[in-house]
Amino acid sequence: NAQVVALVCYIFPNLRVYARARDEANAAELRRLGAHVVVPELVETGFALAGSIIAALEDILPAAAAPKPKADTQPEVKPETKAKARNKAPVVPTSP
């Protein structure tokens, strides 16, 4: 891995190099050789595990996680409120 990073950085000095490291010592070596981004195996494994857990939860809880849309988008008004509104209708002036 270190030899590949060194060779690629030598041949293509403007190329951004991404590498995976076995441990912190290997990560430091890869950075010293020119790798721009170094991902330790432990982090990579953690991301893979987290992705698997999220996928499993989406399979188990799809309906519970998503809010259920209402058929009627208008807010519900109580009948007694409607009756009060009818009794207090605004006065509209009439033209003579």
* Residue 61, in any domain of the structure: yes
Identify the burial level of 26 via C-beta atoms within 10 angstroms of its C-beta, where 0-12 means exposed, 13-18 middle and 19 or more buried.
Answer: middle
* Within a domain: 84: no
Range(s) of the domain holding residue 18: 2-67
Instruction: Please indicate, yes or no, if residue 55 is contained in any of the structural domains.
Output: yes
Q: Kindly state whether residue 83 falls inside one of the protein's structural domains.
A: no
Structural domains counted in the chain: 1
Q: Report the CATH number at residue 31.
A: 3.40.50.720
Domain assignment of residue 30, yes or no: yes
pLDDT given at position 40 = 86
49 falls within a domain? yes
pLDDT at 86: 59
How is residue 12 annotated by DSSP?
A: -
Residue 80 domain-assigned?
no
Reading the chain (96 residues) residue by residue, the pLDDT tens digits are 899 999 999 999 999 999 989 988 999 999 999 999 998 888 878 888 888 888 888 777 765 555 666 665 555 666 666 666 555 544 445 555
